[in-house]
Structure 1
């Protein structure tokens, strides 16, 4: 059966390249858009966002005790406490829908319940401090406040909905990864280690001069490296790097494929038609805005200038909020990785819930 699948893939590849409309202008534009977006993602986000997130995910998998995760985010934890923590814990991180994924996968692996983990996955990219401040300053107070309230509220509602639909009797889930063992390290060492790791992402999201930003990130990276080399045991550092590699090889290829596909289909979307549809605060306008946000890829903070341009062209405030909610939390690359972590059925339901609730929130906000 495996050999037949390989043969079919080879045949499809041959047919795809054979009939590829290489001279078509729209195809060339789409291909350039795909390569351009992937180039931009590689230059601006891989080293400063994605790689630090992978190392943080590996550290969570190794150093964070499973009973701590179960206490605050597990299936049997206090629901009010667990969902509150999950809904706001991503606020200090300047992460996009892709960078949040290794962190989501790592807490899921350590035993976080489906509901709180989904809440963290949805809210993290939507409520990071930098994005919130920029929303208030660029788009105005009403949309900024609506984004904060809706993102936190919807993240909890989506998480609760997933937990109710897919009831779990045990913690976490199969992540297609080897089970990692906990490693005991003194809190005097692990606190500055984790602080330095997380601050790399935080500093990257700050609006400061680039030389200061890169020097600060370099110092923080040096602190992490010195701790790993001179304080951790050889076995501890090896285990951390091994877990980081597990997450990297599972997530990064899918992210690159997803970013390429998202870039390819962007020129195929009739921009003028979208602008006409989202100019009205009706069900169709909010649904189109949610769908557009869900399947496109927005890197950290880029959804705001894009939305500013759409509003200037007549986009209504309801669809604007719908896009602000669905856009940062979902993307095509994001969906591919979530499927790897949660499976096809849960991923489809999650995507549908995000689109549905974002549409409803936009519709309600537009009628206020």
Structure 2
């Protein structure tokens, strides 16, 4: 029955992944066309400084859930299916922390999904809890939203080929370097997890696996989603007090501007593709190429909601560590890019 269970799970995961990719690509294409035509992407429930506190919470959550509910639902179902159906030995074989192969599988396998930093969390939790090494799982977590294909293509057409190429090279490099460092720092703890998983793999009949799938999915939803929503509310409140013009005043050029852009990108929640018109608008207001690249490296990969969600999976130390390292990589990436591409003319 183990073979039947694995095959059934594989079919379910492939169908769900196909649905997720199709849905996200269709949504990304529609949004991309609107952006190219100059149409402003507005929230269904706008938030202004006149919005009462209770309204801020409701509007922020409503805007996020209306945009992300389908993606999150599919992502949680996939994560639950991975934990239920996929043999732990298979994930350990291809995504263990013992060699460099797992890092490249994680870094290059995630971007095709075209998901944001929050929607990728259930998938990270699924493969990590199932036996993936901490480093490869982090490479997957960081690269998937930062280098997703739809966002790179929109960057190419909406900003410039230099920014698009720099985003691919620097974001993949940052994801690999940061995940390698984090795995090295926490490798003792991570090895213990993998060893435990190897010796506790269980064989369950196919008849009970679907109920187990729903139980695993519910467990991940209950553990991760509340903190993601809390982070969304915090960022929504923060956004009320800033404007594109005020941010642009601090994002001209130089090391301080690049540092500021990297930190802002690490804090704000940026839905998939939205970072592209946001950066384009700021560059038209005077944002330099270095700060632009720094923001594009950190904003898609990091956010307060994603850090809160990840903390429920691996504790607080790891999210804080990789957020700091990714911010540093954003600064270095911005400095390197501004040296080679000091300006872009639209």
- TM-score in terms of structure 2 length: 0.78
Q: 1:156 to 1:313 in 2, by over 3 A?
A: same
The residue correspondences of 1:331-342 to structure 2 (distance < 5 A) are 331-342=303-314
2:18 counterpart residue number: none
Q: Decide whether the 8 Å contact of 1:63 with 1:184 is kept in 2.
A: no
SS of corresponding position for 2:187: coil
User: Does residue 62 in structure 1 map to residue 67 in structure 2?
Assistant: no
2:266 counterpart residue number: 294
Indicate the structure (1 or 2) with the bigger Cα radius of gyration.
1
2:68 counterpart residue number: 45
User: Does residue 262 in structure 1 map to residue 235 in structure 2?
Assistant: yes
2:94 counterpart residue number: 72
C-alpha separation between the residues in 1 aligned to 2:104 and 2:315? Answer: 26
Alpha-carbon distance, 1:134 to partner: 0.8
Alignment size in residue pairs: 289
Alpha-carbon distance, 1:62 to partner: 1.0
Q: Decide whether the 8 Å contact of 1:62 with 1:181 is kept in 2.
A: no
Alpha-carbon distance, 1:171 to partner: 4.2
C-alpha separation between the residues in 2 aligned to 1:323 and 1:49? Answer: 24
1:157 counterpart residue number: 177
Greater relative CO (CA pairs within 8 A, separation 6+):
1
Q: 1:326 to 1:172 in 2, by over 3 A?
A: farther
User: Does residue 148 in structure 1 map to residue 168 in structure 2?
Assistant: yes
C-alpha separation between the residues in 1 aligned to 2:192 and 2:107? Answer: 18
- TM-score in terms of structure 1 length: 0.74
Alpha-carbon distance, 1:168 to partner: 2.5
C-alpha separation between the residues in 1 aligned to 2:220 and 2:188? Answer: 23
Runs of 4+ in 1 over 6 A off after TM superposition: none
SS of corresponding position for 1:328: coil
RMSD: 2.2
C-alpha separation between the residues in 2 aligned to 1:150 and 1:30? Answer: 39
1:313 counterpart residue number: 285
Alpha-carbon distance, 1:30 to partner: 6.7
